[in-house]
């Protein structure tokens, strides 16, 4: 069945699902678009705050009905009680913030997220290579691509095909270079643009995070979307994040953007692990000479003025782009090269700044 036909078939089957207050789900204004990918079907049901429990049976029935129509595809149905309040992240009791419902992710001891102020600064490249560098330090590591709007982990790690789905609906992640890896990108048709409505994106994040068999991991590295948004809020509200690494290029503009990303974190009681300066200097391929093409030390100074740790600089080298495009990241495929060593140094600095991870 073509995707459009499947979408229509699911939509009309949802007429079988009764909802609280009368009527059926197909005709309900709070039903989102139905997204169909080769491996999954996803939709959300928006309900008035406080109505989540009442809609629980409708959600289960909707999932069962969708499963019947969609065959082996993974069904992702979420209930959403609307947007979190603007000052999300903490409720207050006797004047003290109380962490909202953060729950552990099965099998995962620590979470490190990688963010940036804007796109194109090498955030995903850095996330992948940091994950590999942490593995090289003896950790058991996974990577989750939470950049749902521009997933690039499948390309960076050369992942082929979709992740397997077990009988109980749990994803078996890909394995690449010793990392467990999950990305919504593996479930999309090549170059398919996905328009995620906020609640659907956060629901997809929750399922990729919690409905994946990660095994036992010391660290899950999460590649966040650039900037700040629903995905960040959703992650920081639901899981204990050990800290966020911010990637920036040396240009001032990018640093200003990075500052915005940094500013949001204290609101969620998420520690900032520090700033990585990417594409910071140029190493001539023939002579190995270093050129500080944007002037040196911009990010280091910015980190100092923001009062956050500086984690290190990554050179601008052609081979990073070439190896990334080829799905063979430098830390795994050229570990002796200076760029791989630069990522290793950043990972060691991260571990120094997070003593709880080694203990």
Instruction: Say whether residue 184 binds ligand ADP (CB under 6 A).
Output: no
> Counting contacts by CB under 6 A, is residue 321 touching ligand ADP?
yes
Q: Are 301 and 252 in contact (CB under 8 A)?
A: no
CA-CA distance, 107 to 118, in Å (whole number)? 31
Strands 174-176 and 179-183: antiparallel
Q: CB of 41 within 8 A of CB of 8?
A: no
The conformation of residue 181, written as its DSSP 8-state character, comes to E
Token pair for 64 = 């069962």
> Using CB under 6 A, which of 74, 110, 123, 135 touches ligand ADP?
123
Choose which of 7, 80, 324, 349 interacts with ligand ADP (CB under 6 A).
324
CB of 95 to ligand ADP, least distance (A): 39
Position among 221, 272, 279, 350 found at the interface with ligand ADP (CB under 6 A): 279
> Which CB, 100 or 327, lies closer to ligand ADP?
327
Q: Which CB, 56 or 285, lies closer to ligand ADP?
A: 285
Q: Which of 320, 332, 346, 351 binds ligand ADP (CB under 6 A)?
A: 320
Under the binding rule (CB under 6 A), the answer on residue 260 touching ligand ADP is: no
Euclidean distance between CA atoms 236 and 150, whole angstroms: 20
Please identify the residue of the shown chain whose CB is closest to the bound ligand ADP: 122
Burial of residue 84 (number of CB atoms within 10 Å: 0-12, 13-18, 19+):
middle
Q: Quick one: which of 8, 77, 11, 12 has its CA closest to 40?
A: 77
Residues with Cβ within 8 Å of residue 56, at least 6 apart in sequence: 79
23 touches ligand ADP (CB under 6 A): no
Pick the binder of ligand ADP from 82, 107, 119, 335 (CB under 6 A).
119
The one among 7, 78, 80, 116 contacting ligand ADP by CB under 6 A: 116
Q: Is residue 125 a contact residue for ligand ADP (CB under 6 A)?
A: yes
CB of 271 to ligand ADP, least distance (A): 21
Q: By CB under 6 A, tell whether 278 contacts ligand ADP.
A: yes
- 273 near 110, Cβ under 8 Å? no
- CA 287 to the chain's CA centroid: 38
H or E stretch at 172: strand 171-172
Which span sits near ligand ADP by CB under 6 A: 48-56, 134-142, 162-170, 316-324?
Answer: 316-324
Q: What distance in Å separates the CA atoms of residue 236 and residue 35, rounded to the nearest whole number?
A: 25
Q: Which is nearer to ligand ADP, 28 or 282 (CB)?
A: 282
Structural contact between residues 35 and 200, judged by C-beta atoms closer than 8 angstroms: yes
Return the range that interacts with ligand ADP (CB under 6 A); candidates 80-88, 202-210, 294-302, 315-323: 315-323
| Among residues 152, 203, 228, 238, the one that binds ligand ADP under rule CB under 6 A | 152
Asked whether position 250 contacts ligand ADP by CB under 6 A, the answer is: no
Structure letter (DSSP) for residue 104: P
Query: Using CB under 6 A as the criterion, which residues of the chain lie in contact with ligand ADP when the complex forms?
Result: 116, 119-125, 152, 278-279, 314, 316-317, 320-321, 324
């Amino acid at each position: 069945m073509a995707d459009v036909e499947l979408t229509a078939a699911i939509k009309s089957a949802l007429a079988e699902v009764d909802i609280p207050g009368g009527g059926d789900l197909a005709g309900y204004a709070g039903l989102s678009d139905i997204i169909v990918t080769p491996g999954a079907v996803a939709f959300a049901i928006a309900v008035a705050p406080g109505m989540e429990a009442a809609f629980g049976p409708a959600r289960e029935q909707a999932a069962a009905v969708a499963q019947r129509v969609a065959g082996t595809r993974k069904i992702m149905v979420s209930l959403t009680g609307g947007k979190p309040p603007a000052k999300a992240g903490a409720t207050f009791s006797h004047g003290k913030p109380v962490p909202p419902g953060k729950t552990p992710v099965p099998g995962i001891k620590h979470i490190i997220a990688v963010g940036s102020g804007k796109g194109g600064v090498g955030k995903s490249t850095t996330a992948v290579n940091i994950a590999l560098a942490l593995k090289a330090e003896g950790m058991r590591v996974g990577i989750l691509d939470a950049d749902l709007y521009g997933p690039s982990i499948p390309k960076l790690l050369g992942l082929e095909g979709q992740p397997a789905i077990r009988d109980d609906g749990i994803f078996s992640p890909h394995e690449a270079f010793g990392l467990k890896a999950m990305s919504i990108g593996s479930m999309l048709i090549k170059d398919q643009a996905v328009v995620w409505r906020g609640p659907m994106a956060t629901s997809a994040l929750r399922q990729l995070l919690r409905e994946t068999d990660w095994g036992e991991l010391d660290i899950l590295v999460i590649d966040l979307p650039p900037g700040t948004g629903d995905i960040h809020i959703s992650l920081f509200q639901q899981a204990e994040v050990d800290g966020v690494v911010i990637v920036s290029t040396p240009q001032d503009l990018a640093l200003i953007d990075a500052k915005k990303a940094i500013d949001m974190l204290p609101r969620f009681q998420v520690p900032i692990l520090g700033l990585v300066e990417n594409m910071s200097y140029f190493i001539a391929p023939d002579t190995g000479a270093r050129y500080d093409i944007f002037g040196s030390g911009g990010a280091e100074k910015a980190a100092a003025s923001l009062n956050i740790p500086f984690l290190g600089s990554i050179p601008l080298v052609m081979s990073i782009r070439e190896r990334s495009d080829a799905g063979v990241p430098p830390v795994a495929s050229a570990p002796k090269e200076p760029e791989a060593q630069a990522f290793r140094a950043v990972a060691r600095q991260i571990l120094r700044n997070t003593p709880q991870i080694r203990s």
